[in-house]
Amino acid sequence: MPETYDLLLKGARVLDPSQGLDDTVDVAVHNGCIAAVGRDLQGEARQLIDLAGRLLTPGWIDIHSHIYAGATTWGVHADAVCLATGVTTIVDAGSPGWANLPGFIDYVATVYRTRVLTFVHVSGIGLTHGPIGECEDIRYADPERTAAAIECWRDVCVGVKVRQGGFQVGDNGVEPLRRALQAGRYTNTPVMVHIAIGVPLDDVLSEMRTGDIVTHCYQGSGDGILGLDGDIEPAARQARARGVLFDVGHGGGSFRFDVARGALARDFPSDVISTDLHAHNIDGPVFSLAETASKLLNLGVSLEEVVHQCTSAPAAAIGRPELGTLALGAVADIAAFDVREGGHFEFRDVAGDVLVGERRIEPTLTVRAGTVYRPEELAAEREEAVQRARRMRAFTGRNFAALGWSPPDL
């Protein structure tokens, strides 16, 4: 008796690093899960989509974003952005702290069609007002309350976040990190650590444990992984040797082509590719995870490794190995792309430098728990997310004219 599927995706190159799969096969979905993977699958399908000539992978996982829209100055409405670009799981990197996590659960995590997870900031205020350092007042950094919040919402919370730049911690040095690590030990979860100028890299990395995550690994503002001699800092190599992970975390100020080139030339690739998507970069230079991944592709990272760093690698990093895979029975989170070659594609980093590449990864289809989404169907919703981000930028940057308002003459 022939099989009956809800969805049958035919003829793509299927690349699933979690299973070592790289072949032209079909993928079938039933009841929101992967039902079959194989050559020339037979059976009835309620929806059949021909993907010949395209790349099909597990749904992509972005482990660094800021999506607490309406409650923080960084937050964006990223649901349509994700589902238009192959991202089926998005992880907020500490927008909610232990004090405002319940609102994130109620108004973001349970509302999005994209799967939403989060790191909980060790500072109770999280990133409510990003331009003011959230750990300048160390009283906000509470490991016990952070751990309790994670335990209350284990289904959504994947670890602890702390920003360790001088701007964020003031005179407190690595004390916020130590408190974040304490929360991580209480909950047996990783700590994601933002590195930036103002706190010596050696001091930060020496505290970090196996499985903790350095984000913004290719930032060029200072106290980064490249030394003044252009070589990889010994502390970074030592941290990697003991199992600390390095995440791209592109952001609006944390990804430079020259730093990435220098690191790659010295055999120091990232472990995970992420966007650090927020209100100040959603319309450039980040745009999406596919755009960020395309930059790494054109810097010399193989397509196979790029897919690994956007699927099974981030799934492992956040302790969710059941994601980022097309294994039988797994949730049907799937992404399809055109990998355009031989073109003349321009990419920009945070310093405005331009990389002209010959390859570009362009999303064509996203399947989230068995439901199909196409970029063109989400165009209006995505544009609204961009416009909301621009209004937030105008407000926080005091560009009141953009809002049609000016302060009264008192």
Tens of pLDDT, residues 207-261 = 999 999 999 999 999 999 999 999 999 999 999 999 999 999 999 999 999 999 9
Q: Please compute the mean of the pLDDT values over residues 191-204 and round it to a whole number.
A: 98
Percent of the chain with pLDDT over 90: 93
In this model, does residue 104 exceed pLDDT 70? yes
Report which of 79, 59, 71, 77 is spatially closest to residue 121, judged by C-alpha positions.
71
pLDDT confidence tier of residue 406, bands split at 50, 70 and 90: confident
Q: Measured between alpha carbons, how far is 303 from 293 in angstroms, rounded to an integer?
A: 9
Asked if residue 399 has pLDDT above 90, the reply is: no
Mean pLDDT of the chain: 96
CA 103 to chain centre: 21
Average pLDDT over residues 92-107: 98
**Residue 31, pLDDT score:** 98
How many Cα atoms sit within 13 Å of 271 on the Cβ side? 22
408 pLDDT band, cuts 50/70/90, is confident
Query: Which pLDDT score is estimated for 396?
Result: 82
Residue 2 has pLDDT above 60, yes or no: no
**Kindly report the CA angle at 84 between 83 and 85, in degrees rounded to 5?**
90
Residue 1 has pLDDT above 50, yes or no: no
pLDDT tens column, 145-163: 999 999 999 999 999 999 9
Helices (H), 95-140: 101-104
Output 130 or 191, whichever has higher pLDDT.
Answer: 191
Q: Domains of the chain (ranges plus CATH)?
A: 4-57+334-384 (2.30.40.10), 60-317 (3.20.20.140)
pLDDT of residue 131: 79
* Predicted pLDDT at 173: 97
